Amino acid sequence: MEEYLKAIKEKVCTICVDSDESGQCKMTDEEFCAVELNIDKIVAAVNSVDSDRTEDYIEALHDYVCVSCKNETDAGNCNLRNDVNCGLDRYFPHIVEVIRAVQLR
Ligand code: SF4
Ligand code: SF4
């Protein structure tokens, strides 16, 4: 999991709107980024999909991560997702590419 996180920090955090110029995350202790917290579930979600369709990966992300995330309501809504404020959701297609690239090394 360390290798995945390292690659995501290099390739995704550096372009994330919540990072500084050097790619360091600016989230405070009160906030959280679902990426680091859920890296094992994210990798499992990606590995569960055998498809080129982005929708299939997004559905897997929801099933593996969002359902147990404190920000999702029982009705399946998430204010962070609605406001494009979840880094994991916002960059998920890019995160999938990074995970696949690590697996191909
Ligand atoms: S919010 Fe998440 S994706 Fe964005 S810089 Fe922080 S750890 Fe990386
Ligand atoms: S989109 Fe919402 S429910 Fe899903 S991981 Fe992000 S904050 Fe959690």
Q: Which atom of ligand 2 is nearest to the CA of 88?
A: 6
Average pLDDT, stretch 22-48?
90
Write down the pLDDT at residue 91: 96
Write down the pLDDT at residue 68: 94
Query: Which residues are 78's β-sheet partners?
Result: 72
Write down the pLDDT at residue 31: 77
Question: What total number of domains does the chain contain?
Answer: 1
Query: To which residue do tokens 């999991």 refer?
Result: 1
Write down the pLDDT at residue 74: 93
Beta carbons of 61 and 89 less than 8 angstroms apart: yes
pTM of the model: 0.92
Residue bearing the CA closest to ligand 2, atom 1: 81
> Domain range spanning residue 9?
2-104
Per the structure block, which two tokens stand in for 81?
């997702």
Ligand 2 pocket mutation, candidates 42, 63, 80, 90, criterion most atoms within 8 A of CB: 80
d(Cα 57, Cα 96) in Å, to the nearest integer? 8
Q: Is the CB of 78 under 6 A from ligand 2?
A: yes
Beta carbons of 30 and 36 less than 8 angstroms apart: no
Q: Is the pLDDT of residue 30 over 80?
A: no
Helix (H, G, I), strand (E, B) or coil at 72: strand
Average pLDDT, stretch 27-37?
83
